[in-house]
Amino acid sequence: AQSVTQLGSHVSVSEGALVLLRCNYSSSVPPYLFWYVQYPNQGLQLLLKYTTGATLVKGINGFEAEFKKSETSFHLTKPSAHMSDAAEYFCAVNRFGNEKLTFGTGTRLTIIP
């Protein structure tokens, strides 16, 4: 079985500050890990993914995430927050051969001007 825990249902940061959204996973086999973003009244957009290889993954809009097996974490970061980053962010996990994505409960990111 696999699961995802996102710490902090709401995160607020000032414009220009570091964004850090936390995700921890549990999986009995090597996981594939994803971050999706959902803007208000829109669908889910893929930000980045980790399958194999380099553990630091760069995504769109300046976001990146690092897979840390020893910590079972896949935290999402962005050096400098922009107003347009305000959205809900979902961490998700699956594994090779498993079709379904298991999502975390989401983190709503608010940017303070």
Site residues, another protein (CB under 8 A): 32, 34, 36, 42-46, 49, 90, 94, 96-106
Residues 78/14, Cβ–Cβ less than 8 Å: no
Considering beta carbons, is residue 3 or 12 the nearer one to another protein?
Answer: 3
Residue at token pair 């607020």:
12
Considering beta carbons, is residue 24 or 94 the nearer one to another protein?
Answer: 94
Q: How far apart are CA 76 and CA 65, in angstroms?
A: 5
Residue in 30, 37, 22, 21 with CA at minimum distance from that of residue 2: 30
Residues 55/46, Cβ–Cβ less than 8 Å: no
Q: How far is the CB of 105 from another protein (least distance, A)?
A: 5
Considering beta carbons, is residue 53 or 97 the nearer one to another protein?
Answer: 97
Q: How far is the CB of 67 from another protein (least distance, A)?
A: 16
